[in-house]
Structure 1
């Protein structure tokens, strides 16, 4: 009941912010001067998900005037758009189905997050973590046509299963994650690290043969599932590199010309783009800043008492996902959205019992939420205003 009240209140606040952003949207905005609340649902990637539900995936990759592969639907996974289409059938509008799926999945994810964190924290800290999660800077994702909340539902359920050692459900949850949103390869890494951790701690907690088989098999399943969409895209289009080429098409919006994919290459290109091209700073400053950030995050995951209280599983997932982002992601304004799978760490933020601290964090969340909504929806007209 408490989670329901928190969720409804949070959604009313976000709705008010989205309405205000739509009202402030002008000629130069992505949504235009006639925007309304429905415009926010299908804005940005919501348009791509709607296009997938309406016309499916192209069998022939579109090309730019220069002959390079253009942006297309293969960058997006199928579970969310088709589920939203099915839900929308009684209403006749895909946007309504997308809103219902995002809202329902977000509420279910909030419930599971509560159950997940309650295994490690007291009730007060857990409820505050849910408050921060539902009111956070990226809270608009709970009610727009993005796949994030559905992915978070699968992810939180999967983490809960690992914490409770109930591995059977993961055989369903891993494929659902893989075909909802990119990121299941990070879960494969997490399972590998979790397996090593379980082996090292087998004397403290019994590690049986059956559990070993589950962890190894699920790790292999997550790895195969992580590459499955690339195989599907290559098979249907006849181009084995269809998916990666499609993803690179988005990077060319920031770095024109040819682009290639290699581990860590995208992240390095991002450092060069932002520090040298955009901010005209020495490249070494970028490497020092990123290196210092990595060291600080690693120290927090290893030593910060509030984070350690969450347990090894959540810390291993957080490390795995961050490593995955550094491995494959070109850092730009979408980085804020891509950090949402780290939401279990809200438990560490909520752990201090100080009421002043918690209210201060909530205020920062709400201010951050408005900043994000205003820039991405009311404005959305520069390179750093892409959700």
Structure 2
């Protein structure tokens, strides 16, 4: 029987698969960064004079904008031994809200030129995150779907974070590496990755919850997936380490400043800029207060905010139980549950909400698998990227335009 000649599309796919994974991911990542750079240049060219960056800002202005200024302050000024107070004696925003790893790593990599180091770390860490995401998803959903998950991740609405002075890129590389180590049961790596995670960005307590839920899941399935005593010891020890690291920053801030709740008061300083008069941190309160605040701001009755919150929580729960998410494996499903519960416990929803959803990026593996679905999803990602960069960087000058 004569061989059927391959179509051009089939030949292109065959040639693509010959490339090493690292090269394929590098090409996807490079194309995505060029796209983001083009969007940033267009947005900068249209930036009005009353935006935070003024008219015609440079890409360097964007790299060093917003939270990058706080990381720069940490790198060169450290943390204050006395908390700054406003005229009424309430703690103001200060560097204690920002962890030290990214700030100091950028200074080291940039040889004192902090912006260059920050950009280099964000770019390289973003590529490492893409590699880790591919390795994490490929055994579960196959090569093709894992590659598409990388495409969507690298081109997502928040993709600009891979090339600005924010710690998210490095955090994502560490987080995805930690999830990969958990899936492969390489416990030794987690003893290194957990402290790095904890001192790069807040969120390691969500990983502690993941380890607890994972331990329960492994125990429940011990007949089909044997659970050795050595593994139990690692899971317990790593969970304890994650909890200790998660709370240690509060202890360090308290010891340096002499204020027992220095860290929590610092975090509340940002929340008070939205809702004045908050006296103390109460777990789970942020979302309830946000429902009241935003719906009143939009001229809607307070009860509608509660209904919307209930629908959001219920819809998220249904989504996490869907077959598409289950296909990603129990570790990814449990991570999504853990991180969402963490956000519900500690976060006040506002303009940074989308940025704080970035650690849920393994869920890109649950994206549509049809050609049309993938094309539409990618188009939505790029459109969202354009909108986010334009609102937060190009035209950012109001209280709700903070990345």
TM-score w.r.t. the length of structure 2 is 0.93
C-alpha deviation, 1:374, in angstroms:
0.2
CA contact (8 A) 1:178 1:226 kept: yes
Aligned partner (choices 163, 169, 187) of residue 183 of structure 2: 163
Q: 2:99 maps to which residue?
A: 77
Aligned partner (choices 197, 200, 206) of residue 177 of structure 1: 197
Superposed counterparts of 1:110-149, under 5 Å: 110-149=130-169
Query: What SS does structure 1 have at the residue aligned with 2:187?
Result: coil
Q: 1:204 maps to which residue?
A: 224
Aligned partner (choices 119, 130, 136) of residue 99 of structure 1: 119
Aligned partner (choices 22, 31, 47) of residue 53 of structure 2: 31
Aligned partner (choices 252, 259, 266) of residue 232 of structure 1: 252
C-alpha deviation, 1:51, in angstroms:
1.1
**C-alpha separation in 2, matches of 1:18 and 1:61:** 36
Aligned partner (choices 26, 29, 33) of residue 11 of structure 1: 33
**C-alpha separation in 2, matches of 1:34 and 1:326:** 38
Query: How far does the alpha carbon of each residue in 1:291-313 deviate from its partner, in whole angstroms, 9 at most, with x for none?
Result: 111111111211x2211110111
Q: 1:368 maps to which residue?
A: 384
Unaligned runs of 5+ in 2: 1-22
**C-alpha separation in 1, matches of 2:71 and 2:109:** 14
Higher relative contact order (CA 8 A, sep 6+): 1
Larger radius of gyration: 2
Q: 1:60 maps to which residue?
A: 82
C-alpha deviation, 1:34, in angstroms:
4.6
Aligned partner (choices 266, 278, 281) of residue 300 of structure 2: 281
Length, aligned pairs only: 381
Q: 2:318 maps to which residue?
A: 299
Q: Kindly indicate whether residue 313 of structure 2 is the aligned counterpart of residue 313 of structure 1.
A: no
Aligned partner (choices 271, 274, 290) of residue 291 of structure 2: 271
Query: How far does the alpha carbon of each residue in 1:312-370 deviate from its partner, in whole angstroms, 9 at most, with x for none?
Result: 110000001001000010010100000000000000015x2x11111111111000000
Unaligned runs of 5+ in 1: none
Query: How far does the alpha carbon of each residue in 1:214-245 deviate from its partner, in whole angstroms, 9 at most, with x for none?
Result: 11111111111100111111111111111000
Query: How far does the alpha carbon of each residue in 1:100-141 deviate from its partner, in whole angstroms, 9 at most, with x for none?
Result: 000000001100110001120111101000000000000000
Query: What SS does structure 2 have at the residue aligned with 1:257?
Result: coil
CA contact (8 A) 2:292 2:306 kept: no
Q: 1:256 maps to which residue?
A: 276
**C-alpha separation in 2, matches of 1:64 and 1:180:** 28
CA contact (8 A) 1:252 1:259 kept: no
**C-alpha separation in 1, matches of 2:92 and 2:353:** 22
